[in-house]
Homo-oligomer: A and B are copies of this chain.
Amino acid sequence: MSKGTLLYSQSGGVTAVINATASAVIETARQHRVKVLAARNGIVGALREDLIDTSREPIAAIRALAHTPGGAFGTCRYKLKSLDVDRAKYERLIEVFKAHDVRYFLYNGGNDSADTAHKVSQLAEEFGYELHCIGVPKTVDNDLAVTDTCPGFGSAAKYTAVSLLEASFDVEAMAETSTKVFVYEVMGRHAGWLAAAAGLAGTGNNDAPHLILFPERPFEQAAFLERVADTVSKVGYCVVVVSEGLRLPDGSFVAAAGGKDSFGHSQLGGVGPHIAALVKDELGLKVHWTVPDYLQRSARHLASATDLEQAQAVGRAAVEYALEGRNAVMPVIVRTRDEPYRWKIEPAPLSKIANAEKTMPKGFIRRDGYGITAACRRYLAPLIQGEVPPPYGRDGLPKYVRLQNVPVKRKLPDFQT
């Protein structure tokens, strides 16, 4: 087939290593002498014909992307609906692709993105436009189907386990006369993968975290408080991990309970401060809490070597698959062995991944609901292994790169997104 242009686009929340995937995509395509454009701010840029010419970036900058967090070309939260409802948008995408001879479309995101890439491939086929759509996995939530894990998750997991370990040393030192309970809120609206990762910080019976509140288990307030009180009296302090997606027995989010403060402003209470307040009010114990929020998914300084390697591997494979003429597939990670950890990359059909959601297997949560099992530990352990710190400057800060992001000249009329 004739070589055309490759369009790469990032989607959804960024990770510590999504730029490493971008770096691998661009470098691999350059080796094949395929031109790479990037959509500015994700699919929104593709719709607006707001494209970036990556060939204007020196190779050193492309390589530095491998140690830079964030999303180098911008990303978006923008979901295309069904082909019926959003047909005009899908058609616009094909128009933009035609205008720039885009023959390879690499969409780097989660399950929504897999769905979009799948639909675009269907429409291209309907229109008889030769296009190779490849989904590229990414998400700190680790909730993509088929793949054993998702690039981005391992680094967020490592950040969570290390931060939890460090904070627990702090709490332990202070507990006699100060903070007795520490609450650590992790991301994960629907699945408790990051909450589980915090569990890697402790191995002994008295090690933190002492209690993990998973979104998969309804929050039973009385039982939880009893466990906190027991832990404090036995260990001297209690470290609690809570997933932002924790739900009440009626299915509603605990975090949605925020009221108004004394100024009449909304309380953007995460679930972390809520659980902390509960412990303080009901048990009268001194509490502290943390909500790392974006810090947990952008902490490139603490990335996992396994995660980085996989983020780059899926980027390279995505380009190879596209150039081999594959379509509507995603390079997924297949685990072949737990210890020593072995894995490989294989193509999987987007149809199996689109809109599916992988939650924690039941066997990964301890029977009492407050911790992880040995099986879970076996699964998670290799994902946080290895350190790959970024280079640091003389100023003591990581040397992260910002691309020039030179725009490609537009050829089409404006389009309202």
Interface of A with B (CB < 8 Å)?
10, 13-14, 16, 41-42, 44, 68-72, 74-78, 158, 161-163, 165-167, 169-178, 182, 200-201, 257-263, 265-270, 273-274, 276-278, 280-281, 287-295, 297-302, 304, 381, 384-387, 389, 392, 394-398, 400
Contact = CB atoms under 8 A, between A and B. Distances in A.
A200 B393 CA distance: 13
A71 to B, nearest CB: 3
Contacts of A176: 41, 44, 74, 76
Contacts of A72: 173
A274 B289 CA distance: 15
Contacts of A260: 259
A318 to B, nearest CB: 20
5 contacts: A44-B177, A258-B261, A270-B273, A273-B273, A289-B291
Interface centre among A68, A165, A257, A394 (most CB of B within 10 A): A165
Contacts of A170: 14, 69-71, 294, 297-298
A290 B289 contact: no
A302 B302 CA distance: 9
A396 B389 contact: no
A285 to B, nearest CB: 12
B261 A267 contact: yes
How often does this chain occur in the complex, in copies?
2
B395 A387 contact: no
Contacts of A269: 261, 267, 269, 273
Given A69-B166, A384-B397, A389-B389, 11 more contacts: A14-B169, A70-B173, A71-B173, A166-B300, A171-B294, A257-B263, A258-B261, A268-B280, A304-B396, A385-B395, A387-B392
A289 B24 CA distance: 32
A274 B261 contact: yes
Given A13-B174, A14-B173, A261-B257, A290 B281 contact: no
Contacts of A41: 176-177
B295 A290 contact: yes
Contacts of A396: 158, 161, 200, 304, 381, 384-387
A343 to B, nearest CB: 16
Contacts of A258: 261-262, 267
B173 A10 contact: yes
Contacts of A386: 396
A3 to B, nearest CB: 29
Contact of A397 (B70, B74, B200, B280): B200
Given A162-B301, A262-B258, A77 B174 contact: yes
Nearest to A304: B396
Nearest to A172: B70
A52 to B, nearest CB: 13
Given A174-B75, A298-B167, A259 B261 contact: yes
Nearest to A13: B174
Contacts of A289: 268, 291, 293
A183 to B, nearest CB: 9
A174 B76 contact: yes
A175 to B, nearest CB: 8
A267 B257 contact: no
A268 B290 contact: no
A134 to B, nearest CB: 21
Contacts of A174: 13-14, 71, 74-77
